Chain A
Amino acid sequence: MNKIFTIAKWEYLEKIKTKIFIISLIITPLIIMIFSILPTLLADKESIRTKLIGVVDYSDIYFNQLSFELEKFKIDDTQPYYIFLNLTDKNKTIDLVKAEADSSVMQNRFEGYLLIHHGNIDSISVQYRSQSIGSFRDIRRFEDVINKIRIQNELSAKGIDVELANMIQKNVDVEQIKIEKDGEEGKQNFMIVFFSAFIFILLLMMMVIYSGQMLVRSLIEEKSNRLIEILISSCTSEELLAGKIIGLSALGLTQILIWSLIGIGLVGSAIIPTDAFQNILPMLLYFVIGFIFYTTIFVGIGSVVSTEQEAQQITTFISLILVLPVVIAVPAIQNPGSMMVKFLSFIPLTIPSIMLLRFKIEVVPLTDILITLAIMFVSVIITLKLSAKIFRIGILSYGKRPSPKELIRWLKEKN
C-alpha cells in the first residue's frame, strides 16, 4: 500500500509540473467554451443596429402593414430593428426596379429588400434579396408577418372579424417540463440540456486522452531508459499499475476541480446556466469511475508499445473508441427512451457517457443507477486484471509490437 502511494505521489507531482498538463488545463475549457457557448451566444445576440430594408410590392397590399408590424421590434425598447423603404415605382417595370434595387444593395445603400410577387389572390411568392444570407431570426419574422397579413386580409375579405382572425391565428407552444422527485418542476431547454451534458462527456474524453497520452509517454521513457527494471525490482507490477492509475486519477480530479472553479466562475457571471450543475454528484461518480475504467484500458494497451510513433498510433486508436459515445450522444438525446439508449447504458464502454446524458434528460431510476454502477465496478476490476497481465509482460518487452495472438498468450500466462 505504501509503495502504491509513493508511486502515485511521484506520478502526480512529476506530471503536474509538465508543460503539457498546464497547457491542457487551460486549453481544454477554452476549446469547450468556444464549441459550446460561442454558437449560442452568437445565435442569441441580436444585431444592435437598425436595418434598412427595401420592399418591392406592386400590389400595394403589404408595405404599410409590414412596416407597421415589423417596426414594433425595438432595440432596447427604443430604436426600431427595421426601417422599411418602399421601392415600388409604378412608372417602371418590375424588372427595372429589381435591377436598380439589386445594385443599391450591392452599394450597401440598404441591407436587402423583399420582392413580393403577387399572382392570383391567394398565391404570392416572396424573395429576400441581400448580399448575404439573412439571419434566421429576420427571415422568420418576415415570414410570420407576411403570413399573418395574408390570412387576415383574406379572412376580412370574407367578412370575418379581425379580432376573431387574430384569435384563430394564435399559436400554441408546448412547453417541456421534466418532473423531478418531490413533484418539483424543472424547465428544460433542449440546447441547455444538450450542451451541459455534452460538456461533461467532452471533458471526460479529453481528460482521458490527455492523461492517457501522458501515461503512455512516461511508460515509454521508463522502458527506453530501463528504469522500469529498477521499478519492477522494487515493487510488484500490480503496485506499479495501481500507483500509476491512482496518480493519474488524482491528476484528473485536480483538473476537474480547477475546471469546476472556472465553471462556477462562469455561472456566477451568468455565462453557463445553473442548470448545468444539476445532479452534479451522481454525475461526478460516473465521471470518476469512467475515467478510471478508460485509464486502465489505456495502461494495458499502452504498456505494449515501445516507441513514440507506436504510441501516437495507439492513442489515436483509443481516442476513436472514446469518441464513439460522443457520436451516439446526439441520437440518444433526441430519443432518450429508445431501446438503443437503454441498451448502451448497460455496456461498460458507453455507460459513463450515456449515464451523464440520462441524468440530464430524465429522472434515472435508482435500480438503473445501482445496476450500471455494479457493471462499471466489475468491469474496472476485470480490465484491471487483464491490463495488469499485459502490463507485466508488456513493460519488459521491447521492439516489435506483439500480435493479437501473442497478446492472448500473455493473458493466458500464469503469474
Chain B
Amino acid sequence: MLEVKNLVKEFQNTLAVNDISFNVPPGKIFGLLGPNGAGKTTTIRTILNIIKPTSGTIFFDGQPIREDFLNKIGYLPEERGLYKKSKVIDVLLYFARLKNMALIEATEQIDIWLKKLDIIKYRNTKIEELSKGNQQKVQFIMSVIHDPELIIFDEPFSGFDPINQQEIRELIFSFISEGKIIILSTHQMETAEKLCSEIFLMNNGKEVKSGSLESIKKDFGGNHVEIKFSGNISTISDMKEVSSIDTYNNYAEIQLSQDVSPSLFLKKITDKIDLNHFSVVEPTLNKIFIDLIKHEKN
C-alpha cells in the first residue's frame, strides 16, 4: 500500500500540489486524473523521489520511503526518449542494473520481455533505427523489467497504435493479478474509465473528487439520460428541467435538474422533438470530469 499524506509542493510563488492525501491499495489500478497543469506530474515526481516535497509524507507498506524503495518502483514518463545511439540490449541492461538486478537475471528477463512484446529481433539494434512504436515498447520494458512493486504509468498509451494499445492494456491488467500497486495518470477519460477502479481527480493542485469509480458514478448518476433525435435540439436545451446538455450530431447527453424524474422529462419532450431513442444512463467519466472542472472554475 502506498500512502500519500498531506502532500504539499511549493515552487517559487506557486503551489503546484496543495495538501493532497490518498491511499493506493495493491491489486487495483489507481487513476490519477486531472487537466493539464493540475499537478499530476509533480505528485508523481514527489512519489518517485525525483523532487522533495515542501511538506507531507509518503509511506510505502507502512514505512517512510528509504533508498531501497527506488529499486521497487517502475516509471513510464509521459515524455519518452532513450539513448538513441545505443543498442536496445545495452540500454535495458543499464537500467535493469540500476535497479540492482543481477546481471544474469537481468539478461534473462530482458529476453523474456523482448519476446513477449515481439521485438526480440531488435535486441542488438541501435535505438535510433527502431520505429517509434518499438521504441515505446523498449521504454515500457524498461519500466517493468525489475518486477517492481509500484508502477507509475504516465499516459502509457500515447504513441501506440490500437493493436499495441490493446497489448499494453492486457499487460497492465496482468500486473493487477500479480498484486502490484499501479498508478495511472492520464487525461484520456475513456481509458481511465476502462482501466481504473479507484479515481483521484485533481485540479489546481487540489483534490476535486476521489473514491471508487462506482461510488463516483453513483453520486452523479440517477438523472442522466441519453437521447437520439431528429429536429431542433434548442427547444429542449432551454427547458428548466435541463441542468446541462452535451449535444452531438442527432445525439445528446442530458443531466436533469434535481427532483426531475426521467419519466416526467420523457413525457414533456415527446411533443417537442422527434425522438428515436431514450435511455437512463450512468454518466461517463468524461462527463463527470468536465462538469467537475467547470464547476471548479465557477
Contacts and interface: CB of A to CB of B under 8 A. Distances in A.
A6 to B, nearest CB: 5
Interface string B72-102: 0101010111111110001000110111100
B34 to A, nearest CB: 19
B79 to A, nearest CB: 5
Contact of B77 (A2, A14, A226): A226
Tell me whether chain B's interface is mostly helix, strand or loop, or mixed: loop
A233 B50 contact: yes
A230 B100 contact: no
Interface in A216-243: 221, 224-227, 229-236
B67 interface: yes
B80 A226 contact: yes
Contact of B98 (A14, A225, A229, A231): A231
Interface in B126-150: 142-143
Contacts, number: 61
B52 interface: yes
Contacts of A6: 94, 97-98
Contact size class for A?
A: 20 to 34
A224 B84 CA distance: 12
B75 A229 contact: yes
Which of A18, A221, A224 has the most B CB atoms < 10 Å from its CB? A221
Tell me whether chain A's interface is mostly helix, strand or loop, or mixed: helix
Interface residues of B, number: 29
A18 B86 CA distance: 10
A24 B68 CA distance: 40
B287 interface: no
A415 B81 CA distance: 28
A3 interface: yes
B94 A229 contact: no
Contacts of A155: none
A285 interface: no
A396 interface: yes
A246 B258 CA distance: 68
Interface of B: 45, 48-52, 67, 70-71, 73, 75, 77, 79-86, 90, 94-95, 97-100, 142-143
Which 5 residue pairs are nearest across A and B when measured between Cβ atoms?
A: A225-B81, A233-B48, A234-B98, A226-B79, A6-B97
Interface of A: 2-3, 6-7, 10, 14, 18, 221, 224-227, 229-236, 396, 415
Given A224-B81, A230-B77, A234-B70, 12 more contacts: A6-B98, A10-B94, A18-B85, A221-B84, A225-B81, A229-B50, A230-B143, A232-B48, A233-B75, A234-B95, A234-B98, A234-B99
29 contacts: A3-B100, A6-B97, A6-B98, A7-B98, A10-B94, A14-B83, A14-B90, A18-B85, A221-B84, A225-B80, A225-B83, A226-B77, A226-B79, A226-B81, A227-B82, A229-B75, A229-B77, A230-B77, A231-B98, A233-B49, A233-B73, A233-B75, A234-B70, A234-B71, A234-B95, A235-B70, A236-B67, A236-B70, A415-B52
